[in-house]
């Protein structure tokens, strides 16, 4: 979405008349999903109409799934909801098809929920509201597998979501959330001071930790762990990692361990002329030589830089080297507040209500584009404007 908006902005600044250069966005859905918020309740509300965002600036939105990319022929093959096959030809391509959760393959994996898509998050929401009719034991116990960023956010959020569902039935005190991770430390990617805040929040919320183990099987009544123990639970949520879209493999064999395409400082894929990669499909470099994270903080500016550079390349005007804002994180900890960190060492910045207000600003304001407002959308599409400065 941001690539398309930035492409239009750059073309207009270069004096290109509307209709002289076409920008097309291909999406398998009609909406922009605010994916970072899918750990929250009411996931169906966490999306915006793409045509309402991009229509006012003349971007064509094609509702289809890209099934193949041929960089040599500069074509993308598509299939629409009715099964119709099409071929789109491009002069420049921005691949921004994101990432997908790596689903487990153990027995009972089909019973495991995730919050990777609106559909998956909505299925979890519906399941939670059916729990009052579920049998005991473990009716209001949830096991979250994976203690990374998403795992911590959904685990802390589930405490209050489950209590709100259980309370009318006099069962709020029976709510239990268990966080399972194969690592030995919760928040291992954080500095010690930030890890201490996370640990205190989990304790305050009553989240149980099972570390150094992994799930080996799931059934309707619980989870089997690698140490031979069993957790009784009616809800299991999987958050153990994501991988870049499979379409990246159609573009180049030069990909990192997460499946992301190697790109240069302008987000070009070196061995696929005319192709740029943005968001979770591009392994760009952030400050101090660190690779970008698969997060909205890096995906949004990557989109803007890629869209600008794709058009700049076409028009023969200067390209812009990718330069994101200094890296920060803002981790939601449910009713225990939040924690923000600075730098790739993730050292502690703010905690509690101060951090919570910032998290709400991120979730409810900063990552939302304007709808039906061409002027403001193009202003924010400037790669020099960060999400934080665009409020």
The pLDDT value given to residue 390: 38
The pLDDT value given to residue 18: 82
* Mean pLDDT by groups of 10 residues along the chain of 391 residues: 98 92 96 97 98 97 97 98 97 98 97 98 98 97 97 98 98 98 94 97 98 98 98 97 96 98 98 97 96 96 98 97 96 98 97 97 96 98 74 31
Q: What is the topology classification, in CATH, of domain 103-238?
A: FAD/NAD(P)-binding domain (3.50.50)
The pLDDT value given to residue 387: 58
CB atoms within 10 A of CB 203: 12
Domains 1-100+242-381 and 103-238 agree in fold: yes
Instruction: Give residue limits of the domains in the chain.
Output: 1-100+242-381, 103-238
Please give the Cα distance from 253 to 354 (Å, whole number): 44
The pLDDT value given to residue 389: 45
Bridge partners (DSSP) of residue 33 are 47
> Would the pTM of this model clear 0.75, i.e. be above it?
yes
The shares of helix, strand and coil residues in the chain, as percent rounded to the nearest 5, are 35, 25, 40
Q: Is the peptide bond before 137 cis (omega within 30 degrees of 0)?
A: yes
DSSP symbols for 12-31: HHTTPPBTTB--EEEESSSE
Nearest to 212 by CA among 228, 201, 199: 228
The pLDDT value given to residue 385: 86
The residues near 105 (Cβ < 8 Å, ≥ 6 apart) are none
Domain 1-100+242-381 has CATH 3.50.50.100: yes
């Amino acid at each position: 979405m941001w690539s398309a908006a930035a492409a239009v902005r750059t073309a207009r600044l270069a004096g290109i008349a509307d209709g002289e250069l076409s920008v097309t966005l291909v999406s398998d859905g009609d909406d922009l999903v605010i994916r970072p918020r899918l750990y929250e309740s009411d996931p169906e509300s966490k999306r915006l109409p793409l045509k309402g965002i991009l229509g006012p600036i003349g971007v064509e939105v094609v509702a289809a799934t890209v099934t193949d990319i041929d960089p040599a022929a500069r074509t993308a093959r598509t299939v629409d909801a009715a099964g119709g096959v099409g071929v789109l030809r491009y002069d420049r391509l921005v691949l921004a098809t994101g990432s997908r959760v790596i689903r487990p393959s153990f027995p009972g994996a089909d019973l495991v929920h995730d919050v990777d898509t609106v559909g998956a998050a909505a299925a979890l929401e519906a399941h939670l509201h059916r729990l009052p009719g579920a049998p005991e034991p473990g009716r209001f116990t949830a096991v979250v597998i994976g203690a990374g960023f998403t795992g911590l956010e959904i685990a802390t959020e589930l405490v209050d979501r489950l209590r709100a569902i259980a309370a009318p039935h006099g069962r709020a005190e029976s709510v239990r959330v268990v966080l399972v991770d194969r690592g030995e430390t919760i928040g291992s990617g954080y500095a010690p001071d930030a890890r201490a805040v996370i640990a205190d929040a989990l304790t305050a919320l009553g989240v149980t930790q099972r570390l150094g183990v992994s799930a080996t099987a799931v059934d309707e009544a619980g989870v089997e762990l690698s140490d031979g123990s069993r957790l009784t639970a009616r809800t299991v949520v999987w958050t153990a990692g994501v991988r870049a879209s499979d379409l990246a493999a159609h573009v180049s064999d030069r990909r990192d361990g997460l499946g992301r395409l190697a790109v240069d400082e302008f987000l070009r894929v070196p061995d696929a002329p005319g192709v740029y990669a943005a968001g979770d499909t591009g392994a760009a470099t952030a400050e101090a030589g660190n690779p970008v994270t698969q997060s909205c903080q890096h995906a949004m500016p990557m989109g803007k830089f890629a869209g600008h550079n794709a058009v700049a390349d076409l028009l023969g005007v200067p390209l812009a080297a990718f330069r994101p804002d200094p890296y920060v994180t803002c981790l939601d900890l449910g009713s225990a507040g939040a924690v923000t960190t600075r730098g790739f060492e993730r050292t502690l910045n703010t905690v509690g209500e101060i951090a919570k207000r910032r998290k709400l600003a991120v979730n409810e304001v900063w990552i939302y584009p304007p709808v039906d407002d061409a002027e403001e959308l193009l202003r924010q599409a400037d790669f020099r404007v960060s999400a934080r400065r665009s409020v």
